[in-house]
Amino acid sequence: MTHEAVRKIGGIGAVLEGLITSEAYQTHVSRTLLVGPLTPDDGEDRLQQVGSVDFSSRSGVRASPYSRIMARVSSDCDVDVVHGWRNLGHLQVEVLLVSPVASGGRHDVALKHQLYDAYGLESDRYEGEPDYDLYMGIARLHWRSSIAL
């Protein structure tokens, strides 16, 4: 899981590219899935530029054999999902992007209340800050999945 699932930004992207394309890795690993957040900068359009998209809950692409499952995850979890392939040199690597916020940009109010009660975190002070929204959304996904367990 990385914020560099779609593009190399810095150090971890360079490490991933070097590792995944190495002969030793290719010999021992049959499938690589890069999972990352679906953001305005790293979304369906960017993945299309560096590879291909075979599922998108946003645009309706449904060419993946996993389309039915991903559509259900998108619906049940109220998130957008994009699946496809990123070209890394001569290889294609599978990519799964999940929006860190609910459709329409909503966060769980219950999570924000819980964070305020437990830590005094005043979310209203940071509303609209892109990084805050991204990480609050990731926390929302984790929080909701831990409740479901």
pLDDT score of 37? 86
pLDDT score of 108? 63
User: At residue 144, does pLDDT exceed 70?
Assistant: no
pLDDT score of 148? 45
Joined tokens for residue 16: 């991933």
pLDDT score of 149? 38
Q: Does 148 or 7 have the greater pLDDT score? A: 7
- Helix residue spans in the chain (DSSP H): 11-20, 23-28, 44-50, 67-77, 109-119, 130-148
User: At residue 105, does pLDDT exceed 70?
Assistant: no
Joined tokens for residue 127: 């509303």
pLDDT score of 25? 95
Q: What is the pLDDT of residues 33-66, one digit of tens each?
A: 999 888 878 889 999 999 999 999 999 999 999 9
Q: Cα dihedral sign for 56, 57, 62, 64?
A: positive
**Percent of the chain whose pLDDT exceeds 90:** 42
Q: Average model confidence (pLDDT) for the chain?
A: 84
Q: Does the predicted model carry a pTM greater than 0.85?
A: no
Q: Does 72 or 114 have the greater pLDDT score? A: 72
